Amino acid sequence: MIKYAGNIPKAGGIRKGWNQCQILFFQTKLLFYNLSNNTNIVKSEPSLIIDLTDDKFNVCSITPEDAIHAKKKDIPNIFKISVEKLSSSRQLKNLYVLTNDESEKDQYISMLSDLSVKLNTHIKNGLIQCGAFTTKKIFDISLKKITGAHILDSNRFLIFGEEGLHLLDIFDNKPTRLYDKKIYQLSLILDNKLLVMLSGKERTIRIKPLECFFTHSHSSWNGEIFETRNATSFAVNSTSLTLCVAVKNRLLLYEIHSNPRPYPYTLIYQLNTPETVTYLEISVLKINNSEEKILWYGYSSTFMAQQIDQKCPSSVLLSDNDSTLQVLRKLPIDILRVIPVTNSSSMNELLLVYSKLGIYINYLTGMRTRHKELMWTASPISTSFSDPHLLVYTKISIDIYDVSLGIWLQSFPLSNTYPLTSDGTISLSHDPELVENHPILIYIIQQNQLKQTLNISEKSSSPLISGPTDFVHLEHLEKDEALKILFRSTYNKQNDRSTSTMMPHLFNSPDDNGSLTTITSYKPRSHTSVPLNYSLVRSPDLLKVSVNINKTHAATEDIWNRL
């Protein structure tokens, strides 16, 4: 770990002044820690993380136009670090660093540029592991207090929360309401045919066919499990069709039936717990060459395991015989999740994820399997898991770890973001550098993944725009390009005596080689109201526009004169 010093802008930007900070180079990351105003004390959590392995990483001097609020005498002493924030909109995170003098600035630029080149060389030669995730914007979402999401297919997904259940299409950000009661938690099983949710004022578990929500029909059973009223959470395993519901200090275990019956569930048994359960999950593990259904649950600092098919007492996952684990049993540390580790050299290995760190243990013995822990850069807001990757969401970033290798792979400078799906594929971001009026939905995917879960193209984050009726519709391709196209299109029709015309939209879509092609179509599309400052149509369905030629000519000539 190497330490440096510098100054970075305060929360309100350069015009608010500069914060003195300590810069740590750790593995492949730069961590910026703000120093206290009065002393040389470094705050315990970084204010920013920069990943030097980012594809768009760049470091350079600035011009006065880059930092218009900086003092003129400071401009020669400032350099800029850029990394990718969102790939779909080519949005970068730009960090300005103020040094003591121009010579020091040049040294920083040279050093960071060399580091980036060396790290990427090591990555290409297989000497360093790094993440291959990318982030894309889906669209803004105006629904209040969204709790989660579930992907149905490559074009559609469900969003649920305080305003009920909604269906969204990636090409249209207008949600279709399917259910109006507040939903706290939701899962889909049986190939997305059956929906399990915790909802309503009485916080009750309901099991219903998803088709009923689309057709607004009623099944023979209303879907409510009455004994689960006042439930706090639930876990369901789609493989074993086992459901566990936490109700105060009780755990109710059910078997869900795939075949139609008077009731689609059967109560197996219940467990009593000394405290209210804060974590629930069900896994199917291979233990001693046989598959076991395991219920993981916990409270305070305690992780527990229950073998569902064996009605034996639950076991504590941390062994009393391992003295190195005593601190975890005594201190009040929040528990987050249990992760069975695949591709591990140790048999029956688990990663216990706490709010402070991650500990590797043996499931059968409760003893440590590795003496090295996983450490978080900051306190987690939430976590998600897509084997073998653990995504830790903090106030300043999303940090990605490989739990099999036990290493920190990658970081995204996305603040105030949390997962909506269990694997983090869809996340919700309140990052102030991205959000204008509403939070945005983020798509997180591995670049080398052959089949994408959602069909999010580089341009798909642009919502549809409503079709005009009696005015000229401008497509903003580049600063002047669209206006010139519009001028040529209209000017060529100036001798047309009819009172209306058809004006096709230009639609940029990726061809088979990944390049953009222009497609013309006259297929009408229903209007969708969207603010006019958004970029334009992604859909191959183009708008049929009625325009008044005299108004069109006048508007176009005025625009052309201003070019």
* CB-facing half-sphere around the CA of 429: CA atoms within 13 A: 29
Say what the pLDDT of residue 328 is: 86
Say what the pLDDT of residue 130 is: 85
Cross-sheet strand order for the sheet of 302-307: 279-287, 290-299, 302-307, 315-316
**206 assigned to some structural domain:** no
Residue 355 pLDDT exceeds 90? yes
Say what the pLDDT of residue 463 is: 44
Of the three residues 101, 124, 147, the one that is the final residue of a domain is: 124
Residue 557 pLDDT exceeds 50? no
Domain that holds residue 505: 481-562
Q: What digits encode the pLDDT tens for the residues 187-215?
A: 999 888 899 999 999 999 999 889 888 88
Cα-based distances in Å from 475 to 223, 228, 515: 49, 53, 19
Say what the pLDDT of residue 513 is: 39
As a whole number, mean pLDDT of residues 70-90 equals 90
Distinct helix (H) and strand (E) counts, the chain: 5, 37
Q: What residues form DSSP beta bridges with 530?
A: none
Residue 420 pLDDT exceeds 90? yes
Nearby residues of 449 by Cβ (< 8 Å), 6 or more positions away:
none
Most confident region among 147-161, 288-302, 527-541 by mean pLDDT = 147-161
The mean of the pLDDT values for the chain is 81
Q: How confident is the model at residue 507 (pLDDT cuts 50, 70, 90)?
A: very low
Residue 230 pLDDT exceeds 50? yes
Residue 340: helix, strand or coil by DSSP? strand
301 CB burial (10 A radius; 0-12, 13-18, 19+): middle
Of the three residues 124, 142, 177, the one that is the final residue of a domain is: 124
Assigned token pair, 139: 């669209």
**272 assigned to some structural domain:** no
As a whole number, mean pLDDT of residues 465-481 equals 45
Q: How confident is the model at residue 27 (pLDDT cuts 50, 70, 90)?
A: confident
**34 assigned to some structural domain:** yes
Q: How confident is the model at residue 291 (pLDDT cuts 50, 70, 90)?
A: confident
Q: How confident is the model at residue 454 (pLDDT cuts 50, 70, 90)?
A: confident
Cross-sheet strand order for the sheet of 374-375: 335-340, 349-354, 357-362, 374-375
Say what the pLDDT of residue 30 is: 94
Helix (H) / strand (E) element for 389: namely strand 389-393
**237 assigned to some structural domain:** no
Round to whole Å and give the CA distance between 171 and 92.
Answer: 24
- What is the CA 227 to chain-centroid distance, rounded? 35
Structure-model confidence comparison of residues 286 and 388, the more confident one: 388
Of the three residues 124, 141, 174, the one that is the final residue of a domain is: 124
Question: DSSP assignment, residue 218?
Answer: -
**456 assigned to some structural domain:** no
Say what the pLDDT of residue 41 is: 61
Residue 119 pLDDT exceeds 90? yes
**10 assigned to some structural domain:** yes
Q: What digits encode the pLDDT tens for the residues 245-268?
A: 999 899 999 999 877 666 788 999
Count of domains forming the chain: 2
As a whole number, mean pLDDT of residues 15-29 equals 92
As a whole number, mean pLDDT of residues 274-284 equals 94
As a whole number, mean pLDDT of residues 104-123 equals 94
Nearby residues of 280 by Cβ (< 8 Å), 6 or more positions away:
233, 234, 235, 244, 246, 251, 295, 296, 297
**285 assigned to some structural domain:** no
Assigned token pair, 322: 């391992």
Assigned token pair, 194: 């059956």
Nearby residues of 399 by Cβ (< 8 Å), 6 or more positions away:
49, 376, 377, 391, 392, 408, 410, 411
As a whole number, mean pLDDT of residues 455-468 equals 50
Say what the pLDDT of residue 288 is: 74
pLDDT cut 90: percent of the chain above it: 53
Q: How confident is the model at residue 453 (pLDDT cuts 50, 70, 90)?
A: confident
Q: How confident is the model at residue 467 (pLDDT cuts 50, 70, 90)?
A: very low
Q: What digits encode the pLDDT tens for the residues 29-39?
A: 999 999 866 65
As a whole number, mean pLDDT of residues 441-456 equals 80
Q: What digits encode the pLDDT tens for the residues 126-175?
A: 888 888 899 999 988 888 899 999 999 989 999 999 999 999 998 877 88
As a whole number, mean pLDDT of residues 524-550 equals 35
CATH code of residue 33: 2.30.29.30
Round to whole Å and give the CA distance between 30 and 41.
Answer: 19
Nearby residues of 26 by Cβ (< 8 Å), 6 or more positions away:
1
**538 assigned to some structural domain:** yes
Contact by Cβ (8 Å): 47, 29: no
Say what the pLDDT of residue 212 is: 87
